[in-house]
Amino acid sequence: MKKILMVFGTRPEAIKMAPLYKILAKEPDFIVRVAITAQHREMLDQVLDLFKIVPEYDLNMMKEGQTLYDITAKALIGLRDVLADFEPDLVLVHGDTTTTLAASLAAFYASIPLGHVEAGLRTGDKFAPYPEEMNRCLTDVLSDFYFAPTKQNRDNLLLENIDDDKIFITGNTVIDALMMTIKEPLSLDEFGLADVDWNKKVILLTCHRRENWGEPMLEIFRGIRDVVENREEVDVVFPVHKNPRVRKAAEEIFAGLTRVHRIEPLDYHPFSHLMARSYLVLTDSGGIQEEAPALGKPVLVLRDTTERPEAVAAGTVKIAGTGREGVRRETLALLEDEEQYKRMAMQANPYGDGTACNQICDIIKIRENQQKIIFFVDFLVVILIWQYIILVM
């Protein structure tokens, strides 16, 4: 039986790996185990509870004030022991977190094949986003199997001399997770949203990336404040990340604005329903650029670049940048221009149809069967050689 270890450490990774775990765990020929670093603790646990996943290995390494050095070193040492204990035949990682990089390096040190889910995303700038761009580039250098969401991701990998027969275009597993979650009905009133006027044009805002800390984030928030102060028909719902820098910036700019509803971070179930009820999404998150279009919601990206250019090309996403004027202008355009809004809302989602996890599972099974066939053929060849030697002697 093939032993598969799935490693993740943050909420976005857990969301995108959970439906894949559910599929793989049902396969009778696979033994599947989950190792979490808990790079994020509380938000990760929310997703694990939602999808009813109990990790076999928990490094529980989240601590306040730790640096990228700390996270990388702790994860690498902790996963060394996990690999030694479980001895997997395949390690699966996701995306571009520090956990992803550490797990990839640990698998390489142990000479264990590595599969990268959501491979091939690129901005071309190693500091945007930081450290994610280098995390995913280095992970792809170490990987043996590449599960690319789109053709653009595949092309990126080919430009880096990755063998074409190791790359598989599957769509993004986040759509699988979203479709599973949105089926479950839920009232949003209990999540600090009872006073939101859903008859208005509700904007969902998320903003937390390291590259936006400081003045870029303040500029983004100023642009959103301009919109709220000048458009009475707008409410903003902002689940505020727990990072103190994000919270300080939000308090500085949004204090006193009653139509900016600052709430605690939501777990994935209510957040999915919040996306579905929103009119428009403003975000610096990567995954939301893939999820919101599946619900027919236009997305403005609060960054100067994106590793998801296929969404921009498809017309479901537009880059608003991090400047006050750009954020204000692009948001108002979608609020005021109905035709532009409809064009974005009605475009086909380039990230697939919710079958990515089944495709990945089938690919792993096919590769496993190919290995069995190769082993059987090699065995037959050895037997024939021995028979020939015996006859000759």
Q: Hey, which residues are catalytic here?
A: 96, 118, 132, 208, 210, 241
* Rounded Cα–Cα distance for residues 194 and 187 (Å): 10
Cα gap 177→54, rounded to integer Å: 17
Decide if 371 contacts 363 (C-beta within 8 A).
no
Distance, CA of 40 to CA of 28 (rounded, Å): 31
* Whether 126 contacts 137, CB under 8 Å: yes
CA dist 219 and 19 (Å) reads 37
CA 224 to CA 227: how far, in whole Å? Answer: 5
